[in-house]
Chains A and B, each alone.
Chain A
């Protein structure tokens, strides 16, 4: 893990396939289809940045991967392969899904049974091999316990540290590594007395001190001041270089994604609409690109737009309400690049995530050929 060389072995460390996580709204008597068939892969040593607006399903995807979804019905389909294990193994036994016209209309799930089963699957994985950091770090730390105590807890749970003294040493070591000021002082501090940036550093230390293979970072900079955000991103970049840890990074902030990711996945409406190398997906000009990505990039200031003094463009329409998911392409209602030739297809048939170049996939009829039935 201390190996600074990026190793790209054949088998991705984390592979999410066709994940479906639904929530049920009693008030509207309908499903909120937060994650509706999302597929991602993170290779060993690489950082995959998942970008999208709120409601795109990126956070729920991350939580599903860590087994933290508590809503009802929750995860109802798909597979999450981590290091050759399927973390959703056996889900089919607990869930029954009724589809009509290719759309899920009823779900039956033994939630308690699945939760217990999932707990046994995740035991030894959570915290030890998969670690997670969250947004709003001050709220994410236990206010009744000192930072040091919380770090020591993780260390004693998941590493071979013997006794309190050794665990404390390790905790202090990690506090120093995340460049927190006065580590010895902070060790005995409670979260309420620390700034957001310091709390986030502490949380990063808590996640990494168990030396996990995968770090899931859920909006690590959201909720922090702008200058602090930048420092945290620097810290993450440095730690990534030092440890070579595989990271699944979730953010709606494209600049954060840009600085830290090797590959990028763009999510919209609960599905992944584009994947590829960061340089390719986020380049100012790109040959084959999803209209949503194009819209996203055009709406944020960049060196290019500043130089040309061009107007920022926003994407027409509202973010997809994942309750009333349309037929066909999810972005159709807001897409400005539809041509007459494919309009009917866009309106009625959802495009697959097709490969438009090696390592590059886009979910758009503009770039993907429809398979003609044999």
Chain B
């Protein structure tokens, strides 16, 4: 990229950033709306006893000028969040944000690792199919991918765990003690393997990557590249590989986060997913709200990164 191109790219990126911010705002509104509309008084918990529904202190509140309207509530709640105050867990009493950050990392590992694994399985099949059309090999692989995408990930997890315990003599379940076992690092890989294989996104990944690559390979400019004896993959790389891969990765992050919730149950993995499950059981509003926001933020971040890659690669995008 030349220097003269930086300014317009900067404009486009600023716009992407603004869109992301607006979406995150919308996310917060949605979460707030759910909590506001809920029976019981979730907001009371979040606002430290300053929700208007607590009729008891109503009179006192009015005198103190505490917000009663929904937008006032929203502002108060949002303001607290900006300060980093996500409330405290009803169950443990601990502040939510630090806890989230602590366990969130584990979920991040799980999600990203699985994403990469699914990609690693999908890519060779998609590339082969795009380059050589339907062969016995890649048709069989596609069918297997379909089956894998329909396998309930929790059951698959049990199979893998069983194999590990009874056939391989390893005990990956309780991660706390895993550290003292030999090959401790392997235990991190097991949930990733399970989620990466059975996340349900495999067949779609193959389809998207294959379709895009096939489409690009049929383009005129690839034919020109062939005609001049140039390496086709070099020309097809940006539009046929880089962009579709980042697209599908960013699109599937929400699915993998959902899968992480389940996998963390199976493996008792200390992550956001297990936390969310616990919170839903206990109706622990601050925690579940924080997780929803964190998950949405992560999704949007992934999307933003993908847009950045797209803008960087696409000359037309930076010159609007």
Q: Does the CB pair A154–B228 fall under 8 Å?
A: yes
Q: Does the CB pair B230–A140 fall under 8 Å?
A: no
Q: Which of B223, B228, B230 has the most CB of A within 10 A?
A: B228
Min CB gap A47→B, angstroms: 19
Q: Does the CB pair B229–A134 fall under 8 Å?
A: no
Among B224, B230, B313, point to the contact of A141 (Cβ < 8 A).
Answer: B224
Q: Tally chain B residues at the interface, Cβ within 8 Å.
A: 22
Within 8 A of B (CB), among A112-154: 112, 122-128, 131-132, 134, 136, 139-145, 153-154
- The docked-state distance in angstroms from the alpha carbon of A67 to that of B314 is 30
Q: Label chain A's interface by main secondary structure.
A: loop
Which of chain A's residues have a CB closer than 8 A to the CB of B208? none
- The docked-state distance in angstroms from the alpha carbon of A133 to that of B225 is 11
Among B2, B132, B230, B235, point to the contact of A157 (Cβ < 8 A).
Answer: B230
- The docked-state distance in angstroms from the alpha carbon of A112 to that of B224 is 21
Q: Tally chain A residues at the interface, Cβ within 8 Å.
A: 35
Q: Does the CB pair A68–B225 fall under 8 Å?
A: no
Which of chain B's residues have a CB closer than 8 A to the CB of A124? 229
Among A134, A192, A210, point to the contact of B224 (Cβ < 8 A).
Answer: A134
Q: Label chain B's interface by main secondary structure.
A: helix
Q: Does the CB pair B239–A131 fall under 8 Å?
A: no
Q: Does the CB pair B238–A144 fall under 8 Å?
A: yes
Q: Does the CB pair B315–A143 fall under 8 Å?
A: yes
| In the complex, per-residue mask of B104-146: 1 if CB is within 8 Å of any chain A CB, else 0 | 0000000000000000000000000000100000000000000
Q: CB of B60 within 8 A of chain A? A: no
Q: CB of B37 within 8 A of chain A? A: no
- The docked-state distance in angstroms from the alpha carbon of A59 to that of B271 is 61
Q: Does the CB pair A127–B316 fall under 8 Å?
A: no
- The docked-state distance in angstroms from the alpha carbon of A128 to that of B235 is 18
Q: CB of B227 within 8 A of chain A? A: yes
Q: Does the CB pair B2–A188 fall under 8 Å?
A: yes
Q: Does the CB pair A123–B223 fall under 8 Å?
A: no
Q: Does the CB pair A68–B226 fall under 8 Å?
A: yes
Q: Does the CB pair A139–B219 fall under 8 Å?
A: yes
Q: Does the CB pair B2–A134 fall under 8 Å?
A: no
| In the complex, per-residue mask of B296-320: 1 if CB is within 8 Å of any chain A CB, else 0 | 0000000000000000011110010
Among B221, B315, B316, B319, point to the contact of A140 (Cβ < 8 A).
Answer: B221
Q: CB of A170 within 8 A of chain B? A: no
Min CB gap B224→A, angstroms: 5
- The docked-state distance in angstroms from the alpha carbon of A210 to that of B229 is 11
Min CB gap B210→A, angstroms: 16
Q: Does the CB pair B229–A128 fall under 8 Å?
A: yes
Min CB gap B180→A, angstroms: 52
Min CB gap A231→B, angstroms: 21
Q: CB of B220 within 8 A of chain A? A: yes
- The docked-state distance in angstroms from the alpha carbon of A284 to that of B230 is 44
Which of chain A's residues have a CB closer than 8 A to the CB of B223? 68, 134, 140
Q: CB of A228 within 8 A of chain B? A: no
| In the complex, per-residue mask of A235-254: 1 if CB is within 8 Å of any chain B CB, else 0 | 00000000000000000000
- The docked-state distance in angstroms from the alpha carbon of A131 to that of B229 is 9
Which of chain B's residues have a CB closer than 8 A to the CB of A125? 229
- The docked-state distance in angstroms from the alpha carbon of A325 to that of B246 is 48
Which of chain B's residues have a CB closer than 8 A to the CB of A126? 226-229
Which of chain B's residues have a CB closer than 8 A to the CB of A141? 221, 224
Assuming the A-B contacts A153-B230, A154-B230, A192-B315, are A142 and B225 also in contact, with contact meaning beta carbons closer than 8 angstroms in the complex? yes
- The docked-state distance in angstroms from the alpha carbon of A67 to that of B223 is 10
| In the complex, per-residue mask of B45-67: 1 if CB is within 8 Å of any chain A CB, else 0 | 00000000000000000000000
- The docked-state distance in angstroms from the alpha carbon of A126 to that of B316 is 30
Q: CB of A19 within 8 A of chain B? A: no
Q: Does the CB pair A158–B229 fall under 8 Å?
A: yes
- The docked-state distance in angstroms from the alpha carbon of A141 to that of B315 is 13
Q: CB of A66 within 8 A of chain B? A: yes
Who on chain A is nearest to B235 by CB?
A142
- The docked-state distance in angstroms from the alpha carbon of A132 to that of B226 is 10
- The docked-state distance in angstroms from the alpha carbon of A66 to that of B228 is 10
Min CB gap A226→B, angstroms: 22
Q: CB of A203 within 8 A of chain B? A: yes
- The docked-state distance in angstroms from the alpha carbon of A136 to that of B230 is 20
Which of chain A's residues have a CB closer than 8 A to the CB of B225? 142
Min CB gap B121→A, angstroms: 23
Who on chain A is nearest to B219 by CB?
A139
Q: Does the CB pair B221–A157 fall under 8 Å?
A: no
Q: CB of A206 within 8 A of chain B? A: yes
Q: CB of A190 within 8 A of chain B? A: yes
Who on chain A is nearest to B314 by CB?
A144
Q: CB of A207 within 8 A of chain B? A: yes
Which of chain A's residues have a CB closer than 8 A to the CB of B218? 70
| In the complex, per-residue mask of B233-247: 1 if CB is within 8 Å of any chain A CB, else 0 | 001001100000000
Within 8 A of B (CB), among A167-226: 188, 190, 192-193, 203, 206-207, 210
Within 8 A of A (CB), among B229-275: 229-230, 235, 238-239
- The 3 residue pairs across chains A and B that have the minimum distance between CB atoms: A127-B229, A127-B228, A139-B220
Q: List 8 A-B contacts (CB under 8 A).
A: A66-B227, A134-B227, A139-B219, A139-B220, A140-B223, A145-B235, A158-B228, A190-B316
- Tell me the B residues contacting A by CB distance below 8 Å: 2, 132, 218-221, 223-230, 235, 238-239, 313-316, 319
Contacts beyond the supplied A134-B220, A139-B219: 4 A-B pairs with Cβ under 8 Å: A157-B229, A157-B230, A158-B228, A206-B228
